[in-house]
């Protein structure tokens, strides 16, 4: 998992109890509403990394997830200035909280290894807000004294890093996105699908897709679209045709070759050849990304069977 995304995935795990993590936030009544939530504030508009909330008593936490060791005071000031009206005006207020007189507070989330530096940065800039840090052996929340029914915690666990609900995001490099797109296409070939649209790939890559803000969705969709176009123009050019979106259709790729469709007798060799081709497309000289959608012959068989492609037999 990209170190940049550990705090974000940790917050999700602590809210839902994913991956055997304790529901330390969920047990306080908090739930996730939106990722990349637009918010209007008197100090300048922001896009909060996560908006989590509680209905009773009504509370919104706007979490900024930090991969580094320092808090930027200008950005922090915008988070701290957020109010209910600004969240509502930007379209990010949970419907259950409308008209409730909701308390709004900022929360900063980072890596446990950086806690000392983050605390020092907050003290230097006189930032008073909750600080959540997560690591592979613990999760700690401090600075919630002013929030009444919320309480600090220091959770020790042996569950490792949080599950990668966000293995990548709209800020990830194209190379990282391609690492996960290729297995999705291989699985679609195994299921003998003719079309794969950009939206469906996005949903496969990001389990949290339904609660990602519209702006971030558009950005991620463009990046996935770029990856599909490059794959169809390159290593997978004899298997895929990229069809750009129009007013009437979504951008998509047409799958033109699948071993199962070419020869239903079925042997694994042609899928092995496709795996080798996928590896070449990915430049597989390095370790795969943690949380990656790995593909194997067994996975492909489960997805839709394996078959023989006479075109690939020369690669045995």
Enumerate domains of the chain plus CATH numbers.
3-156 (3.40.1350), 174-315 (no CATH)
Spatial distance between the Cα atoms of 19 and 16, rounded to a whole number of angstroms? 9
- In tens, the pLDDT along 135-151 reads 999 999 999 986 777 89
Which parts of the chain sit beneath pLDDT 50? 265, 267, 269-271, 285-287, 289-298, 300-316
Query: What pLDDT shows up at residue 217?
Result: 97
Are 17 and 304 in contact, with CB atoms under 8 Å apart?
no
Query: What distance lies between CA 216 and its chain's CA centroid?
Result: 11
CA-closest candidate to residue 49, choices 13, 87, 7? 7
Helices (H) then strands (E): counts for the chain: 10, 10
Spatial distance between the Cα atoms of 291 and 19, rounded to a whole number of angstroms? 12
5: CB partners within 8 A, 6+ apart: 65, 67, 164, 166, 167, 168, 169
Spatial distance between the Cα atoms of 90 and 40, rounded to a whole number of angstroms? 6
- In tens, the pLDDT along 3-57 reads 889 999 999 999 999 888 999 999 999 999 999 999 999 999 999 999 999 999 9
Are 161 and 21 in contact, with CB atoms under 8 Å apart?
no
């Amino acid at each position: 998992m990209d170190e940049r995304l550990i705090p974000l995935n940790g917050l999700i795990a602590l809210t839902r109890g994913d991956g055997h993590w304790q529901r330390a936030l969920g047990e306080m009544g908090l739930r996730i509403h939106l990722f990349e939530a637009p918010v209007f504030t008197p100090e300048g508009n922001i896009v909060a990394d996560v908006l989590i909330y509680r209905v009773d008593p009504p509370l919104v936490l706007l979490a900024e997830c930090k991969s580094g060791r320092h808090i930027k005071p200008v950005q922090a000031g915008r988070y701290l200035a957020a109010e209910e009206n600004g969240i509502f005006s930007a379209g990010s207020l949970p419907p259950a909280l409308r008209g409730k007189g909701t308390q709004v507070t900022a929360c900063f989330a980072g890596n446990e290894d950086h806690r000392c530096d983050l605390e020092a940065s907050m003290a230097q800039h006189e930032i008073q807000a909750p600080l959540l840090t997560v690591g592979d052996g613990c999760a700690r929340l401090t600075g919630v004294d002013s929030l009444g029914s919320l309480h600090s915690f220091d959770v020790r666990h042996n569950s490792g890093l949080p599950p990668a609900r966000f293995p990548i995001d709209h800020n990830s490099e194209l190379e990282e996105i391609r690492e996960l797109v290729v297995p999705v296409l291989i699985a679609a070939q195994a299921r003998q699908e003719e079309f794969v649209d950009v939206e469906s790939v996005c949903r496969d890559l990001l389990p949290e897709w339904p609660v990602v803000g519209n702006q971030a969705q558009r950005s991620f969709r463009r990046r996935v679209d770029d990856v599909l176009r490059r794959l169809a123009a390159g290593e997978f050019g004899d298997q895929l045709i990229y069809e750009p979106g129009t007013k009437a259709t979504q951008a998509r790729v047409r799958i033109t070759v699948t071993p199962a469709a070419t020869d239903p007798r079925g042997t694994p060799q042609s899928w092995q050849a496709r795996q080798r081709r996928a590896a070449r497309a990915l430049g597989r000289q390095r370790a795969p990304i943690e949380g990656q959608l790995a593909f194997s012959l067994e996975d492909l068989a489960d997805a839709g069977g394996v078959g023989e492609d006479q075109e690939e037999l020369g690669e045995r």
